[in-house]
A and B are shown apart, each in its own frame.
Chain A
Amino acid sequence: DAKTTQPPSMDCAEGRAANLPCNHSTISGNEYVYWYRQIHSQGPQYIIHGLKNNETNEMASLIITEDRKSSTLILPHATLRDTAVYYCIVVYGGSQGNLIFGKGTKLSVKP
């Protein structure tokens, strides 16, 4: 599975958009980009995933660059409850490869 690089921490003001970047320059054609988050001492929660098109759901939007070497998770109106560690993970899609977590980005939403 391709490796990902994320900033260790980010701050965001409540009500503003939070844009979390992820680099995955070695991603291959059949690997998906998944985003999860983990609120303190809870299990990780699935947010969104995509292959090459931008995706949007009720939680967030995922923007994947045309060359697929990076992506951005967008939380359009961050709230205090969005404070969590966010993980960007590249997963082989052929047989739904295992989810391997890195260190993620600690997002702190401030009032």
Chain B
Amino acid sequence: ETGVTQTPRHLVMGMTNKKSLKCEQHLGHNAMYWYKQSAKKPLELMFVYNFKEQTENNSVPSRFSPECPNSSHLFLHLHTLQPEDSALYLCASSRLGTDAQLGYGYTFGSGTRLTVV
């Protein structure tokens, strides 16, 4: 266990469904992130939350909607997805600071494997 927990581990959904992915961390971190990893492609940064405020949205389609109610929880709400959205969705957290050495990097969860049918 890394300290970042993602649920569910696997999800199959139809294109008309609405579902949510959940991420939870108890590491005392104050920044959280969603990444997408499609087959044979590098990880893509989707959303960044610093101190519960969204600071980055990397041109992600509106069918993906993030929510960060507090520094320990992060959600990704999904609706009307397309088959090409099938991927591994990874959550990560980190501790922000004025020096990268304060954070010792990101901690990732194990991901949710999403299949859109």
Contacts and interface: CB of A to CB of B under 8 A. Distances in A.
- Chain A interface size band reads 20 to 34
B104 A49 contact: yes
B107 A46 contact: yes
Contacts of A93: 99-101
Contacts of B59: none
Given A41-B88, A44-B43, A103-B42, A98 B48 contact: yes
B45 A98 contact: yes
Nearest to A42: B110
Contacts of A102: 42
Interface in A82-98: 91-96, 98
Contacts, number: 66
Contacts of B96: 95-96
B111 interface: yes
Contacts of A42: 110-111
25 contacts: A34-B100, A36-B105, A41-B88, A41-B111, A44-B43, A44-B106, A44-B108, A45-B2, A46-B104, A46-B106, A49-B100, A49-B101, A91-B100, A93-B100, A94-B98, A95-B96, A95-B98, A96-B94, A96-B97, A96-B102, A96-B103, A98-B45, A98-B56, A101-B35, A102-B42
Nearest to B90: A43
Contacts of A94: 98
A91 B31 CA distance: 16
B66 interface: no
Contacts of B97: 96
Contacts of B111: 41-43
